[in-house]
Structure 1
């Protein structure tokens, strides 16, 4: 037993004595200063689950800010709401020697709403303190104690939270009554030599001396790299409701019965209206599409973050009357409208995140996710819709919720499903152009871009005003100097989910002359590749999130006063990362430029990064291949 008790005792001493320690900068190990803008001296969290309805969270956070870039990591805040009470809040500011500069007591903390301007109403607040440094380095010793009467969420331990920050010591201790079923899910602990100690109902995770990391391009998300531990209870409490997370089936049953069922109160008049709306629709798909478009045209998105309203949707009748709601309310409202016409659908919990497809942890039952969408099973397939969007087509969810697990809440319980995947060749852009170059080197052309998969998101260009559209294309084709946009036209085919852009342009000096010799780079409209950064010793894998496939064909009429002196040889490169092809055909005064490029989604070993970099560098070089022309009299 001693080997468990002693570390816990030491951790407790750390917390008690944190404010009395001086933390001189000279005591930071030299290796933790390398690449650091700040160094966490101590990050200690102690979570005590007192019973199903109460948890106490004690925090001690000591950080040395080394320079101006490090001040963003200066944590001095704590959130609260009607069910969360702050019992202690205190901050000390120390100088380089560890001597006190300032003591910020709880009464000196600012107290503001924690919700954004886009939130209609909410009751979350935050107390925070600011310190304006007159010199660097300085150290913050921040302590807090919070009593939370919800146990549905238990804070996750992140041993490392930011790049350019070293960590001297991080400790997380949790204790809970055995009958509540405390569970953990661990990530990436072995790579950082994390220590886990368990004694009775206490669990402690600790790690020391984590070196500051510099970000690397195309690195996987932090969840795939850095140490963290998630915590959850099989028996929890949320805003007045006891919940069951013993299985996804049980968790879904709880959500359906406690959070959703009472909101199914669509007025009879609206039910009849929906029946009439879909009366002439020949299929379930067409009925669901009509309902979705009705919601788009008759509601708008707002955010609600008040008590149980942060988790339970507004009643369907309220959305019907008011014409607005958050993701929960609009999804639930759409479900009720579909129910009225006999179309089955499921309220579904998910993570909304565009940078990468973040999934719910299937093997860790708990309250997860930050967004709600709707699953409509039709003919054996799942049709997914985001009911907050007033612009997205039916059966298109884009990069915000694609290719990840979601929890569909059915009357029988929770069911894990996977959303639509937009990967590799599904994300396609086809560019065709017909161009003419006159004797003075002016380029006139009509360019057509067809966008599919997540590339379809380019339809949002059509929502810009005229000046924004023009400026967008000038930036997009910045390789064409002094570009003029003559006309812009769009076709948004929401049925096939394809967006077509048709742009007419002209640009001067497209041929660069030295004497009678002219150089022409025929890749006018897809010349944006850049070689990824080089690393002497890369430390992380690299990650291609979704992949894509481009196809380009440009027909170029050359001026009468030139002849073709040289055309680059065709290029074809193919490997595990993707494919690149380029060839140029000549017929009299006409050039036809062909280009294809694809990238394959995936996570690749760091040892392959140089091969990938060489592939992109070669493609970029070929994108700038020149046709040699010669003036004739």
Structure 2
């Protein structure tokens, strides 16, 4: 049968990227050498990086010209997506030039591409006001097994920052990864390695080169830390002469310098005007008298401001500078730094002290204490001073000089005051408080703060069919994640719930899904009515077998591999379930799952199954408590055994027999 969709995809790709014609290629020396490199392959290797290099030349005026060269060998059809490149740049300070790409076949023929084959687009669809852009190119439709895709280009940078990051490792094997800095006389370059022993540079005059070879693929494992915790990368500081007045490139000797620089950017934007003061009075008039109620009223308003990414003049520090609070209030939109500035202004108007805080969104491991720079942060949140000792929250941190600080993210639409997203918990953030600013390690919430309580009432029939109701009540981040799913379009939300129930109850029909969102209280409740044929297995009408663990936990990740390379990362959460399963008349319980109970330093689990003859139903109870933990790979066996105990317990059936 003819399948039209690959043809449509190919047509779309060729419409996006104009065609290049095949011919015998004359390759630049670096690519000719790279294409001959051999890399050991594992069975699941889709592509290998043959050459990954940056050559950065710095002029005495501070202009940086960076030439990038990259070559990838496509090993399997799945590796064709590696025959592509994305060049991110800031249009206010950067210019991309000299783009050229090649697709080299094993016989030496292939295609050559130029900048005319690329597209230039905004980095994000949410970036309505932003100068961050991307040059994109893909040779996906031209690539096939054993081809080499390569590209080179130059970025001219007139920005003001002299700090950079070079990542040596990827999820693919790397034959050669190299970064070179050519600096003016009197300048210096300092590099520090993360997740690897120091790599000594090869120095030739004013040229400094760092290189690593033959890196195996970075393995992606369930519940592992992010690559920023494991993969080798290098932090680079470009330092002008000490006696240079008004140096063209900015670096930061310590975190105090970072705090002074970034704190100043928030002073004017966070100053309330008459409109901000009036709005603050209006919001507080409807709030309760207590400090928490006052803070919550202002926090919820900032959280409700529409998110629009605004990143202008990033290369010269514009990416760290918020708009004025009054403008954010008037327009009703802003990004994370704008929301933070508005909320700070309202707190000032309310007589509540607060501080802007920079963070790295989505990866608690990215920020390192050893490298003072604002470049480690991509997000802004707020710290609110709490003078009332009666107020408690897991997100309050005792700062040595600033006192008790409550951390809140006004950009997170799913998490109320008093909580933070899982990925921010445990991370290093930076409090902007002038000379008193500095890094703070955010706490984790307790397992019981992120709780799922489930009750199930179900009837199993003689035919093996089942019908019942599931009621789930969530708190904390368990509620936030369910809230995020619930705010999907209704059709998608129903699909998620249907798919979850059908994972264990095959062919289930969902007749009702109701949800009640109590975000301000940090709660979320869901009710699901379901029915399915054949849940229980009938054995010639004499035995009926079914699993009392009717549905699975949606965040359950099985750990089945015998060995592991990376640590296991566990988030704090807890779970309890009580299922009342009524059995058909004329049947009696023949076998029940045994009691299962296990406890470890990182978690505990218990499953109990009993039978109430008076009400003719099976009662199944299970509880799980997981502590926030990072367990070394050397102790992986204990984690695997823990989850395997749970898996086996929840696969053990109830056996009913026909009464004589």
TM class by smaller structure: 0.7 to 0.9
CA drift at 1:587: 2.0
CA drift at 1:340: 0.9
Residue in 2 aligned with 1:62? Answer: 71
Residue in 2 aligned with 1:90? Answer: 100
Could you tell me whether the CA contact under 8 Å between 2:170 and 2:217 is conserved in 1? no
- After superposition, residues 182-581 of structure 1 pair within 5 angstroms as 182-190=189-197, 194-198=199-203, 202-233=207-238, 243=250, 245-257=252-264, 259-279=265-285, 281-297=288-304, 299-308=305-314, 309-353=318-362, 356-367=363-374, 368-379=376-387, 380-412=403-435, 414-422=437-445, 424-457=447-480, 458-464=482-488, 466-478=490-502, 479-515=504-540, 516-526=542-552, 531-535=558-562, 538=564, 540-581=565-606
CA drift at 1:220: 2.6
- 5+ residue gaps, structure 2: 1-25, 388-402
Equivalent of 2:37, from 28, 39, 54?
28
Could you tell me whether the CA contact under 8 Å between 1:243 and 1:254 is conserved in 2? no
CA drift at 1:514: 0.5
Residue in 1 aligned with 2:21? Answer: none
Measure, in 2, the Cα distance between the counterparts of 1:363 and 1:254: 18
Residue in 2 aligned with 1:614? Answer: 641
Q: Report how many residues are paired.
A: 603
Measure, in 2, the Cα distance between the counterparts of 1:373 and 1:382: 12
Measure, in 1, the Cα distance between the counterparts of 2:292 and 2:464: 53
Measure, in 2, the Cα distance between the counterparts of 1:471 and 1:53: 54
Measure, in 2, the Cα distance between the counterparts of 1:417 and 1:333: 23
For residues 197 and 134 of structure 1, do their structure 2 counterparts lie closer, same or farther at Cα, with a shift above 3 Å needed? closer
For residues 49 and 377 of structure 1, do their structure 2 counterparts lie closer, same or farther at Cα, with a shift above 3 Å needed? farther
Could you tell me whether the CA contact under 8 Å between 1:359 and 1:406 is conserved in 2? no
For residues 157 and 345 of structure 1, do their structure 2 counterparts lie closer, same or farther at Cα, with a shift above 3 Å needed? same
Residue in 2 aligned with 1:10? Answer: none
Residue in 1 aligned with 2:7? Answer: none
CA drift at 1:625: 1.2
Measure, in 2, the Cα distance between the counterparts of 1:339 and 1:418: 25
Measure, in 2, the Cα distance between the counterparts of 1:487 and 1:129: 46
For residues 222 and 270 of structure 1, do their structure 2 counterparts lie closer, same or farther at Cα, with a shift above 3 Å needed? closer
For residues 178 and 342 of structure 1, do their structure 2 counterparts lie closer, same or farther at Cα, with a shift above 3 Å needed? farther
CA drift at 1:449: 1.5
CA drift at 1:382: 2.7
Secondary structure in structure 2 of the residue aligned to 1:434 = strand
CA RMSD of aligned residues (A): 3.2
Residue in 2 aligned with 1:144? Answer: 153
Measure, in 2, the Cα distance between the counterparts of 1:390 and 1:592: 38
Secondary structure in structure 1 of the residue aligned to 2:297 = helix
Measure, in 2, the Cα distance between the counterparts of 1:628 and 1:315: 68
Could you tell me whether the CA contact under 8 Å between 2:119 and 2:137 is conserved in 1? no
For residues 527 and 87 of structure 1, do their structure 2 counterparts lie closer, same or farther at Cα, with a shift above 3 Å needed? closer
CA drift at 1:295: 2.7
Measure, in 2, the Cα distance between the counterparts of 1:602 and 1:420: 12
Secondary structure in structure 2 of the residue aligned to 1:287 = helix
CA drift at 1:332: 0.9
CA drift at 1:198: 4.7
Measure, in 1, the Cα distance between the counterparts of 2:93 and 2:557: 51
Could you tell me whether the CA contact under 8 Å between 2:568 and 2:633 is conserved in 1? no
CA drift at 1:609: 2.7
Could you tell me whether the CA contact under 8 Å between 2:547 and 2:653 is conserved in 1? yes
Could you tell me whether the CA contact under 8 Å between 1:487 and 1:504 is conserved in 2? yes
Secondary structure in structure 1 of the residue aligned to 2:417 = coil
* TM-score after normalising by structure 2: 0.83
Equivalent of 1:126, from 108, 131, 134?
134
CA drift at 1:324: 0.7
Secondary structure in structure 2 of the residue aligned to 1:313 = coil
Residue in 1 aligned with 2:617? Answer: 590
* TM-score after normalising by structure 1: 0.86
Measure, in 2, the Cα distance between the counterparts of 1:426 and 1:392: 13
CA drift at 1:160: 1.6
Measure, in 1, the Cα distance between the counterparts of 2:64 and 2:553: 56
Measure, in 2, the Cα distance between the counterparts of 1:464 and 1:383: 30
CA drift at 1:366: 0.8
Could you tell me whether the CA contact under 8 Å between 2:226 and 2:365 is conserved in 1? no
Could you tell me whether the CA contact under 8 Å between 2:537 and 2:544 is conserved in 1? yes
Measure, in 2, the Cα distance between the counterparts of 1:444 and 1:532: 31
For residues 127 and 495 of structure 1, do their structure 2 counterparts lie closer, same or farther at Cα, with a shift above 3 Å needed? closer
Could you tell me whether the CA contact under 8 Å between 1:113 and 1:123 is conserved in 2? no
Is residue 2:637 matched to residue 1:602?
no
Measure, in 1, the Cα distance between the counterparts of 2:519 and 2:346: 22
Q: Deviations over 1:126-148 (max 9, x none)?
A: 33444342643222342222221
Q: Deviations over 1:200-222 (max 9, x none)?
A: 76542212222345533333322
Could you tell me whether the CA contact under 8 Å between 1:152 and 1:366 is conserved in 2? no
Measure, in 2, the Cα distance between the counterparts of 1:135 and 1:244: 44
Q: Deviations over 1:27-54 (max 9, x none)?
A: 3336257653333222221223334742
Measure, in 1, the Cα distance between the counterparts of 2:34 and 2:51: 13
